[in-house]
Amino acid sequence: MDWSPGYREFAGDGALRPEIQCLWVSVIAPGMPPTRVLPDACTDLIWASGVGAFVAGPDTGPAPDSRPAGAVLVGARFRPGAGGAALGVPLSDLLDQRVDAADLPAVPGGRLPGSLDPAEALRRVALIAASMVAERPPDPLVLGAARLLGRPGARADEAAARLGIGERQLRRRCQAAVGYGPRMLARVLRFRRFLARIDAPGPVDLAAIAAETGYADQAHLTRESTRLAGLPPAALARTRR
């Protein structure tokens, strides 16, 4: 494992359960600016050196996170729709919050004290997250909705019809499993497609990317980027690069 300063994601040894999107490590370097955590429709079980375990609930906007130089964080990221069941609480209760593991009975935070070696903490976070989703599997209907709503041009009413349920029931089940309703879920997943495009190598043509990722036009992309990231798309692209 590379423990040099920076942020990196990985899929572990290939044995991760499908409900876990990735494992990740963040090591804070001296002089590093605050991290801008952006909405991704996911929920994370996180261990921080010297602190212990906490859960990052679903975000609806940018969440700055400042840590001292040398701090190490490791996490397991639950896929959209998997976090609510795994944590044993409706994710709407954790919207835009960071919650100590001790306040969530379904999370064995006592196994993740802040004094752990980071490598051991990562191993335990992976095992605990896998155990949580095995004991409390996600709502398959919401997982299906997330797949449908992750496609360009997807609409909540069409997703509900494809799944054979009403929009009201889909909204209720999404709020419990994701933290917010299907329309917000579609917005966040569309924004993640935009982030993936600007993170990829090559020139950034915002008008083309807006059309490719499902926005009505570049102005629509600008409004959504400002709401979800706190920055217009050109500035966001420069910051991430």
What whole-number distance in Å separates Cα of residue 227 and Cα of residue 133?
31
What whole-number distance in Å separates Cα of residue 87 and Cα of residue 206?
38
pTM for the predicted model, two decimal places:
0.93
* Nearest residue to 86 via CA among 51, 55, 49: 55
Strand partners, 72: 27
Mean pLDDT in residue range 224-228: 98
CA atoms within 13 Å, Cβ hemisphere of 230:
12
pLDDT tens, residue by residue, 119-177: 999 999 999 999 999 999 999 999 999 999 999 999 999 999 999 999 999 999 999 99
What whole-number distance in Å separates Cα of residue 182 and Cα of residue 172?
9
pLDDT tens, residue by residue, 173-214: 999 999 999 999 999 999 999 999 999 998 899 999 999 999
Q: What are phi and psi of 73, to 5 degrees?
A: -125, 140
pLDDT of residue 200: 92
Q: 3-state DSSP helix/strand/coil percent for the chain, to nearest 5?
A: 45, 15, 40
Q: What percent of the chain has pLDDT over 70?
A: 98
Kindly report, as residue ranges, where domains of CATH 1.10.10.60 are found in the chain. 140-240
Second-level CATH architecture of 140-240: Orthogonal Bundle (1.10)
Q: What are phi and psi of 141, to 5 degrees?
A: -65, -40
Which pairs from 93-96 meet CB under 8 Å and 24+ separation?
94/43, 94/55, 94/57, 94/58, 94/179, 95/57, 95/58, 95/60, 95/179, 95/180, 96/57, 96/58, 96/59, 96/60, 96/61, 96/63
- Which pairing describes strands 63-65 and 35-37: parallel, antiparallel, or unpaired? antiparallel
How big is the CA angle at 42 (ends 190 and 163), to the nearest 5 degrees?
65
Single-letter code of the amino acid located at 17: R
Band the pLDDT of 13: cuts 50, 70, 90: low
Element spanning 27, H or E: strand 20-27
Single-letter code of the amino acid located at 16: L
DSSP 186: H
Judged on CB neighbours under 10 Å (0-12, 13-18, 19+), 147 is: middle
**What is the SS3 assignment for 241?**
coil
Residue 14 has pLDDT above 70, yes or no: no
